[in-house]
Amino acid sequence: MEDELGYARRVYVPSPYIEELRILISRVIELGSKISTAKNQVHSLVERNMLQSEFEGISDMFGVEGLEKLAGLKLPERESRALWMYLEELSIYGGQHKALEGELAKIDSI
């Protein structure tokens, strides 16, 4: 295909290395978005049940201490099930994220 002056357009075709990096990075970004959504849902659940004070002095609700607090919250059954599901999602996404980081590390070392 040519432009108005008759010059052939240049086309960039990424190498297999670059294409693999693009795919992996887009998957990492997608997982990051899913992790963020699940964390926002947990924050919303805590606020909806007015339990923010349970986390005073805890810098990261999803760190070891914060997760212990979350597991021990007294919630209505429906909310407790929802919390369990969100935390399960975070666990799954976290594992997938680590696996992708491992794949990226292997590519970078090539």
Structure tokens at 9: 């357009």
Question: What's the pLDDT tens digit per position in 44-55?
Answer: 999 999 999 999
Residue (of 79, 77, 78) closest to 51 by Cα position: 79
CA distance 107 to 101: 10
Decide if pLDDT at 81 tops 70: yes
CA atoms within 13 Å, Cβ hemisphere of 103: 16
CA distance 45 to 82: 8
Decide if pLDDT at 5 tops 80: no
Structure tokens at 64: 């070891």
Model confidence at 108, in pLDDT bands (50, 70, 90)? Answer: low
Decide if pLDDT at 110 tops 70: no
Question: What's the pLDDT tens digit per position in 22-68?
Answer: 999 999 999 999 999 999 999 999 999 999 999 999 999 999 999 99
Cβ atoms of 9 and 2 closer than 8 Å:
yes
Decide if pLDDT at 4 tops 80: no
The pLDDT of residue 35 is 97
